[in-house]
Homo-oligomer: A and B are copies of this chain.
């Protein structure tokens, strides 16, 4: 009902923060594709916590074990299942929140949805830790896309009021690689330093900050997608809102487009080297739900981490009395930083799903 997505490529995510393991099943991958496990692990390491003071101190190895679907590093045609064992969970840290819910967290809503029995230790199935399986699925998808010269890259566009420059009109895979190698994944390092300072300032005050992630997909052909409910924007947004903390998704000029006139917003068609392009890309590479052939560009608004050390007002549910709450434990002061590869991952498996629908599975065996 809630933890599956995809049509030709189906993703099924499982696990709670404090269960035995978390993982993902990916069904629909063609047989015969070599997966570079080292590259996958390197990709996943970009979301790994504990690498700097700017993220949670919880340590996780997060190296995936493939239970099925992979034989000697090559896809077998059958569903791929990968798991990550939970090794460093301290349930005690989280014990109180089912009765005294953290503001803007899922404690209260999960209880209203599932009842008392829902396992919300460490935020359970709502934990940011569940983004690790998303990165397995997305990391595999990225490798497959790159063989088709399709590249997915993202950067941290802003944190609080500090802002990186935007992607250029035609980003390159090299730019994606440069950005991905940095601890704060930005284009402009000075902006990155200002962002780091903003995060550190929040952290030192037991607070958190939000941010915006910008993502681009290069190499998609024109003519991919559909009008109405199955367009590129619909499919990407439906998946991206699955990443915890995403509260907004916009394509191309997005909300800025609402302030524009048509004469400024419309992207004029041009010809370059015999290929149709647009002179700018306020459409974000999508018109009528269908790709134009320009990079698909979108941005995700990430809210600040709801778990903060400052005292907050809440209500004790068993007594219905107001009560002050202070969240202890290890939390990222800015989830947007670690979410950059997660957004790439979700975009990658969504795009691969759409491409697999376009190409059909019959092409697999002929290539």
A362 at interface, CB cutoff 8 A: yes
Q: Which chain B residues border A144 with CB–CB below 8 Å?
A: none
Q: Are B242 and A247 in contact (CB under 8 A)?
A: no
Q: Give the size of the chain A interface in residues (CB under 8 angstroms).
A: 164
Q: Are B223 and A104 in contact (CB under 8 A)?
A: no
Q: Are A315 and B77 in contact (CB under 8 A)?
A: no
Whole-angstrom CA separation of A230 from B21 in the bound complex: 22
Looking across the interface, which residue of chain B has its beta carbon closest to that of A364?
Answer: B115
Q: Are B15 and A67 in contact (CB under 8 A)?
A: yes
A66 at interface, CB cutoff 8 A: yes
Q: Are A15 and B68 in contact (CB under 8 A)?
A: yes
Complex A-B, nearest 5 residue pairs according to Cβ-Cβ distance, in ascending order: A106-B288, A360-B360, A32-B117, A112-B223, A248-B250
Q: How many copies does the complex hold?
A: 4
Given known contacts A207-B263, A268-B313, is B308 in contact with A76 (CB within 8 Å)? no
Which residue of B13, B76, B115 is within 8 Å of A119 (Cβ)?
A: B76
Q: Are B223 and A229 in contact (CB under 8 A)?
A: no
Residues from 295 to 316 in A contacting B, C-beta threshold 8 Å: 299, 301-308, 310, 312-315
Interface centre among A104, A202, A249, A362 (most CB of B within 10 A): A104
Whole-angstrom CA separation of A78 from B285 in the bound complex: 22
Q: Which chain B residues border A158 with CB–CB below 8 Å?
A: 258-259
Q: Are B25 and A12 in contact (CB under 8 A)?
A: yes
Interface centre among A15, A78, A292 (most CB of B within 10 A): A78
Given known contacts A108-B269, A313-B268, is B223 in contact with A77 (CB within 8 Å)? no
Whole-angstrom CA separation of A270 from B286 in the bound complex: 43
Q: Which chain B residues border A270 with CB–CB below 8 Å?
A: 313, 315, 322
Q: Are A288 and B238 in contact (CB under 8 A)?
A: no
Whole-angstrom CA separation of A75 from B103 in the bound complex: 26
A152 at interface, CB cutoff 8 A: no
| Stretch binding the partner chain, chosen from A37-45, A52-60, A175-183, A274-282 | A274-282
Which residue of B9, B77, B262, B363 is within 8 Å of A360 (Cβ)?
A: B363
| Stretch binding the partner chain, chosen from A79-87, A164-172, A184-192 | A79-87
A361 at interface, CB cutoff 8 A: yes
Looking across the interface, which residue of chain B has its beta carbon closest to that of A110?
Answer: B288
Q: Are B75 and A3 in contact (CB under 8 A)?
A: no
Residues from 334 to 366 in A contacting B, C-beta threshold 8 Å: 336, 356-365
